[in-house]
Amino acid sequence: MENKVLTEVLAHFLARLDSCNKSLLIELNQHYKELKNLVEIQLKQQIQLESSETISLTQSTLNQIGQNNFVYFISEWERKRPYRRALMVTETYYQKISEIVKSLPSEWHVSGNELVVELGNQLPKGWQQAFAKLKRKQHYIPLRKIIFCALQRNFALSAKLEQKYFFSLIQLVDQLKNNWEITYQAFANYILKNEAEFDWQKLQNKAKNLIVTLIKEIDQVLLDLEKNTTMISESLKKAILNNIVFPWQKNAFDYSDRQSANLLHWTKQLQLVQTEVSLENSLYTSELKVLSCVNTVIESASLERSNLLTELQEAIDWLNQQIKSTSVNSTFPNAKNHITPALSRLAEIEHIFTQGVKEISENLEIPAKLSFSPREGLKIRKINPNKMLVKSFQTNSQRKIASAVKEIETENRKIIHYIEQAREVISFHLEDISGNNSSDDNQKLAQEAFNNALSLLEFCQKESIDWRPIVEKQMLQAFINCFSQARIILKQSRLGALAYLTQQDLNQTVKLLSRKAISLSGLLLNKLLDTTKFLIERSLIYLGLMSSSTSKSVEISTRAFLPQEYSFNLQNLDLPALYNRLFRFEPVQDSRFLVGREKDIMAITQARQMWEQSRSISVLIVGERGSGKSSLINCAKKVSLANLEIVQGEFGQRITTEEELYGFLRELLKLEPLTNVKSFLKESRRVIILEELERAYLRKVACYDAIRALQRLISASSDTTLWILCINKTAYQLLNAALGLNQSFSHRIDIGTASKEVLQEAILLRHNLSGLRLEFISPPIQNPFIHKAKSLIGSNTTDETVFFTTLEKESAGIFRTAFKLWLGHIDSIQAGLLSVKPLSIAQKSLLTKDLDLSDLFTLAAILQHGSLTYEEYSNIFQQNLNNSRRQIDELVARELLEDDPQKDGFRVSPDALPLVKEVLYLNNLIS
Amino acid sequence: MINSLILTFLIWFDEIETSLQIIKRLSPEKLIVALSIIGIAFLLVRLTSFFIESLSQYAPRSRFFFKMFATVIRFAISFSTGIFLVVVFAPSQQTLLTVLASVGLAVGLGAQDLIKNIIGGLVILIDRPYQLGDRVKIGDAYGEIDHIGLRSTKLTTPDDTRVTIPNSDILSGKAWNANSGVPDCQVVTDLYLPHDANPEEAVEVGYEVAYSSPFILLTKPVVVLLQDRFQDGPFMVLRIKAYVYDHRFEPRFQSDITIRAKAEFLKRGMILRWNRHDQAPTSEILREEFLKVQKLN
């Protein structure tokens, strides 16, 4: 009876087991197919990249591509959840099996013979069956345990197949993301226009091949699993028989812990892949959001431009009206619009970006590598995608975006600038005309000003570039580059730098590098050969084995002149009258043109205030010729010294004795001969301004008396007379050392030389009032390597900056020289556009080497005295007149000296002044 | 003799390479490499000197700064060359030690002076009592340093004579440096005046003369001192201490001061009364003046 029940029990158990196995296989197959279908459809998706250079179009293209290639599949995958369901099915399957096993009786009494009779045809044939038949005694068998162990062994065998199945499945899931990455990369490369570096087809084929391999693997795994299930019943019966044959055998195999570990591993792996997919999704969403917001910024900037253009049109209409009418009957239209500075626009965009990427997590765990089983472990990398994205923005995009917004500001500001310049031109000339009596001239100048201003505005209207396509494209590329680079960084941090590089086409890079290295070594070899040949030749000449005359070079020695960059005649330049008027070499009268002298004016004002408090005040203004001493005095008279009695004069003749000085002062103060100057000065308060103090002495024994007397007079009368004296710097250094000149003055204003910014401001201020547009011609690239290196580190400057930097060096900060160099470098004036040639650095070394000691002494002496006659020169150097004449004439021929147009004698040519000063400094003759 | 001693010393040790082994080491390739290293070192020294000299000529004011590097670079190149040569021939550790010991022996026997000079050169390089271009007085020699070598220092006197001084002499003796790495240096000019000359006027002339000279360096002060002296009779010494802008012009500065001062003293009648005549003094006038002075005495 019992035996019959065993048969039934076993049959019932096996039937239930079979049903479980079948349902598991069906489910696994179904979930795999769902995923397979998703991946295959995704792979078949075609992307259509249309020419979309605007942000809004690109945004919609990205949206479309993302929806069709990523979002749809991800949502489908999340809805169907094939992997998770496969995991659940497996878990349920194990639970069901354990329940079925529990339903079996725990133990059974049966003899070996009975067992063979009962299950004979189902048992495996062999010696075990024959041996069992011999066991006629009833045995106790732990049926549940035997079956459990047998099943566990079977599970252990099929675990590898399950691992393969889940590993391939998770790879398929990962492929959903990878396919999107390839599509996105194609899109980004299309936008960034570097298709050459990217082979989309190749990557897609690679993905296809991988998917085909995975599909094959999973199909095979499912077939193997099916085969395995058919063998379960046989193995169970064999286990029961073995228990009869080998009763001492222990049935203690348990695989359930490993099963749980496997399930946990697959679940964890799924979570990590899911995190990655979500990250990709949030990157995509953020990118769309950022693009949309940036589009709004562009729109607002565009609106700003159209408003400015309207204002420009109004100004043009007004000018046209003025040109037609004979008199000025209204004022220039007022300014209406404002410009958003580039910095605030940049800050806005940065804010948009930060807000856009806010949703991207700051701490994530992603799998470095998908693994087969828990034994292989799970390599997890912790990343901060938010930080990565911000870093990518700062590295790859911020500069481009900054330049784009700067471009917006520059272009918009250009319109405002032109309008303002036109306004200034009009107002300056109307003011200028109002002070002029000649009506014909006035009419002519007014027409010229209106025409210049109109041509300026019309040019602006004509040439005003619609920055939108360029800037929009620039910004678009910057953002796409940012997100694309962020993805690359993410991939790198996931795989590790080396693995990433290996995944890329490293071979091509190596090939390219080696090709470059070969061509470079060829060049180097050629250079080396030339150098060796040259060195051998030089060595032979040095050793006397070869005459230097056999060398092919022809040597021509010439006397060194002032470099051509300095010596040119302004008379030969055909400049407009308006321009010549603005840049005339005269001391400034209008304080608007006095640039960078605020501190100096303040010092004079302060000196006046102190003097008005009856303190003994005297001011010494020290500065090079042409550095603006007279301009400073002119403006100080109007600003700081207004409403005071001012007596102004300059030492026109050389004065060396006390008598000559007093004679000069009496003449200046319009006094009778023999009047006591000191008493006269004590009688009333006044300001005495004396320029060119360097002419009040001669560097010779007993020729410092005039200065000494002046020092005494200043000390005695400075409580009632505000003395303001001007002297050049070189003379000051000598007189201060010899006579302690500095001690006689309460204030010393060392006006120094003008900086680059001041020179630029002074020149552009004058230029802008001409109403002409300005263009700097780019200098030719001297050394392409240096140029490339500069552009790589981002230190390439504009042509304007290069020009003014060189101008500062070449003019040594002296206004007069700077103005002359500016005028001399005007290339052309055509259609209201003034083109300025690049300023080259003069080669001074030839002249520097060519000057001997007596030349240097002569130049230093002339600088110390302002100018020298032949007689004065012979007195100073104790030479006869002929020698003096020869020395000075030689330097005149070298164009370093010239006949002083206002005073007696020779002066250092204003063009040569920077060079002379440099040479004297290098020789330690001046400090 | 020294060579045979070294060879005996080398063969004395079993483990040390024999002279044959050492000669075997000198393969043609190694010799070529060694010669190339020496050639490159020579070229480097020449190029550096040329470059520094060009810079010094362009900016005489800063020549001391450039020249400061010349000696250091030459020393560095010499030592690096020595080290490279050792590396090229790569003797065994024992051989190297033996060679060093032999060098020590050689020094003990006869090359003491050479080693002293080399050490002196190194000390000069580190201690820097002077540098290239300085105006110094070493022993009896006075002039501008134009070479500091491993063995000796060379200077050129104002008479354009080159003096070579072994470095060991400099190490043990005194060296007076007038400018210490700057172009200017103080120049003292003594002028002699009769004891009855007006001292205030003399000092005033002294100052004005110094400041009128084109050689003066204006950034440093001028000091004029006056002193009574007696030697075969009383007289006054007017000492003018002023800085010349470049020490190479020291004699010319002195000369310029003397010429200017004499002219002024003559003009003012502070010396040689015959200068009161408008014409230049003839020998008859000088004779008359001399007789007058004799009569007075």
Per-residue pLDDT tens for A684-710?
899 999 999 999 999 998 899 999 999
- Compute the distance between CA of residue A902 and CA of residue B107 in angstroms, rounded to an integer: 77
- CB within 8 Å: B58 and A921: no
- Compute the distance between CA of residue A298 and CA of residue A300 in angstroms, rounded to an integer: 5
Q: Is residue B244 less than 8 Å (CB to CB) from chain A?
A: no
pLDDT of A411 higher than 80: yes
pLDDT above 70 covers what percent of chain B? 81
- CB within 8 Å: B259 and A922: no
| Amino acid B117: pLDDT | 83
Query: What is the Cα A841 distance to its own chain's centre?
Result: 28
Contacts of A927 in chain B (CB under 8 A): 218-219
What is the arithmetic mean of pLDDT over A813-833?
82
8 Å CB contact between A488 and A389: no
Contacts of B211 in chain A (CB under 8 A): 699, 734, 737-738
Q: How confident is the model at residue A544 (pLDDT cuts 50, 70, 90)?
A: confident
pLDDT of A458 higher than 90: no
Residues paired with residue A836 on neighbouring β-strands, in sequence order: A776, A826
- CB within 8 Å: B57 and A927: no
Pair of tokens at residue A424: 């200034």
Q: Which of B184, B207, B218 sits opposite A734 (nearest CB)?
A: B218
Pair of tokens at residue A183: 């599509």
Indicate the burial class of B77 (C-beta count within 10 angstroms; 0-12, 13-18, 19 or more): middle
Residue given tokens 């009975």 in the structure block = A114
8 Å CB contact between A483 and A389: yes
8 Å CB contact between A583 and A576: no
- A607-624 per-position pLDDT tens digit: 999 999 988 999 999 988
- CB within 8 Å: A700 and B212: yes
Q: Which residue has the higher pLDDT, B216 or B28?
A: B216
- CB within 8 Å: B60 and A921: no
Q: In Å, what is the CA distance from A816 to each residue of A625, A695, A753? A: 9, 21, 11
CB atoms closer than 10 angstroms to residue A119: 19
pLDDT of A509 higher than 70: no
8 Å CB contact between B59 and A925: no
Q: What is the mean pLDDT of chain A?
A: 83
Q: How confident is the model at residue A605 (pLDDT cuts 50, 70, 90)?
A: very high
Best interface-test mutation with B: which of A538, A915, A924 has the largest number of B CBs within 10 A? A924
A-B CB pairs within 8 A amount to 59
Long-range contacts of A71-78 (CB under 8 A, 24+ apart): A71/A281, A71/A284, A73/A38, A73/A39, A73/A41, A73/A42, A73/A176, A73/A180, A74/A176, A74/A277, A74/A281, A76/A38, A77/A35, A77/A38, A77/A173, A77/A176
Best CA proximity match to A774, nearest among A830, A840, A815, A820:
A830
| Amino acid B78: pLDDT | 85
8 Å CB contact between B197 and B182: no
What is the arithmetic mean of pLDDT over A246-257?
70
Best CA proximity match to A104, nearest among A22, A12, A239:
A12
Best CA proximity match to A716, nearest among A741, A688, A682, A748:
A682
pLDDT of B13 higher than 70: no
Min Cα separation A924/chain B (Å): 5
Contacts of B61 in chain A (CB under 8 A): 921-924
| Amino acid B275: pLDDT | 44
When mean pLDDT is compared across A446-450, A923-927, B177-181, the lowest value belongs to: A446-450
- CB within 8 Å: B209 and A734: no
Q: Is residue B260 less than 8 Å (CB to CB) from chain A?
A: yes
- CB within 8 Å: B211 and A923: no
| Amino acid A603: pLDDT | 92
Min Cα separation B157/chain A (Å): 20
List the single residue in B with minimal CA-CA distance to A878.
B260
Contacts of B263 in chain A (CB under 8 A): 701, 878
- CB within 8 Å: B245 and A925: yes
Min Cα separation A456/chain B (Å): 48
pLDDT of B209 higher than 90: yes
Best CA proximity match to A688, nearest among A661, A717, A716:
A717
- Compute the distance between CA of residue A423 and CA of residue A651 in angstroms, rounded to an integer: 43
| Amino acid A723: pLDDT | 94
What ipTM describes this predicted complex? Answer: 0.71
Q: How confident is the model at residue A1 (pLDDT cuts 50, 70, 90)?
A: very low
| Amino acid A567: pLDDT | 66
| Amino acid A590: pLDDT | 80
Min Cα separation B225/chain A (Å): 16
Q: Is residue B57 less than 8 Å (CB to CB) from chain A?
A: yes
Q: Which of B59, B212, B217 sits opposite A701 (nearest CB)?
A: B212
8 Å CB contact between A873 and A913: no
pLDDT of A419 higher than 80: yes
Question: Torsions phi, psi of A244, nearest 5?
Answer: -70, -45
When mean pLDDT is compared across A304-313, A414-423, B258-267, the lowest value belongs to: A414-423
| Amino acid B3: pLDDT | 45
Min Cα separation A578/chain B (Å): 43
pLDDT of A398 higher than 60: yes
- A274-331 per-position pLDDT tens digit: 888 888 888 888 888 888 888 888 888 888 889 889 888 888 888 888 888 766 666 7
- A17-74 per-position pLDDT tens digit: 888 888 888 988 888 888 888 888 888 877 776 666 788 888 888 888 888 888 888 8
pLDDT of B1 higher than 50: no
- CB within 8 Å: B214 and A924: no
pLDDT above 90 covers what percent of chain A? 15
| Amino acid B276: pLDDT | 46
| Amino acid A903: pLDDT | 84
Q: Which of A491-495, A636-640, B210-214, B262-266 reaches the highest mean pLDDT?
A: B210-214
- A645-664 per-position pLDDT tens digit: 999 999 988 999 999 999 99
Q: Is residue B191 less than 8 Å (CB to CB) from chain A?
A: no
Min Cα separation A186/chain B (Å): 55
Contacts of B217 in chain A (CB under 8 A): 924
| Amino acid A882: pLDDT | 92
Best CA proximity match to A202, nearest among A498, A508, A556, A627:
A508
| Global pTM value | 0.57
- CB within 8 Å: B58 and A860: no
Indicate the burial class of A424 (C-beta count within 10 angstroms; 0-12, 13-18, 19 or more): middle
Residues paired with residue A618 on neighbouring β-strands, in sequence order: A723
8 Å CB contact between B273 and B293: no
Q: Is residue B54 less than 8 Å (CB to CB) from chain A?
A: no
Q: Which residues of A touch B (CB under 8 A)?
A: 699-702, 704, 733-734, 737-738, 845, 848-849, 853, 857, 860-861, 876-878, 921-925, 927
List the single residue in A with minimal CA-CA distance to B203.
A701
Pair of tokens at residue A30: 């179904």
Indicate the burial class of A840 (C-beta count within 10 angstroms; 0-12, 13-18, 19 or more): middle
Contacts of A921 in chain B (CB under 8 A): 61
Residue environment code for A404-415, b if the CB has 16+ CB neighbours within 10 A, otherwise e: bbbbbbebbbbb
Residues 6+ apart with CB under 8 A from B73: B45, B48
Q: Which of A700, A733, A923 sits opposite B218 (nearest CB)?
A: A733
Q: Which of B184, B208, B249 sits opposite A701 (nearest CB)?
A: B208
